[in-house]
Amino acid sequence: MAVNWADLIAVAFGAFNLLRLASYFPQIAAVARDQNGATAISLSCWSIWIGANGTTGLYAWVNLGDLTLALISAFNAACCTAVFALAVYKRAVRFQQTRSHRFDAPGPSAADAPSGATLEAVSVTPLRRGQRNAGS
């Protein structure tokens, strides 16, 4: 029996697209669990994939009349959009957290002092030009 290359390519296309569709879910879960603002996610790359998959779906639907390819591409675009949107959300949350902590004064507290010690205010008087420090 001779190999029909068109059928073989169609099977490979279908198999790899199923794998691609399944591969989005671990990526979405990893971004959802990320505590550092999903900085490893390239927003430019994922936005290009959204555009590529979305336009492939539109091309398949409008120009080819291939509803199956259009739906597969639309689902790919939707999954890419989910990763992109989740990464943007995680970055916004991280930005808000770091922004609010930036204004917390990191000075010493009573908990930082050794046992029995107290924190005391120190008065500092600036030296005038030509004036020497008493200890020098």
Locate 131 and state its tokens: 């004036």
Q: What is the C-alpha end-to-end distance of the chain, expressed in Å?
A: 101
Contact predicate 6/13, CB 8 Å: no
Q: If we measure between CA atoms, which residue out of 79, 63, 81 comes closest to residue 19? A: 79
Burial class for 38, CB neighbours closer than 10 Å (0-12, 13-18, 19+): buried
Q: Where are the domains of the chain?
A: 9-100
DSSP structural state of residue 39: T
* Token output for 38: 């999903």
Model confidence at 8, pLDDT cuts 50, 70, 90, reads: very high
CB 116 within 8 A of CB 86: no
pTM greater than the 0.85 cutoff = no
Model confidence over 44-86: pLDDT tens digits?
Answer: 999 999 999 999 999 999 999 999 999 999 999 999 999 999 9
Nearest-5° Cα angle at 68, 63 to 70: 50
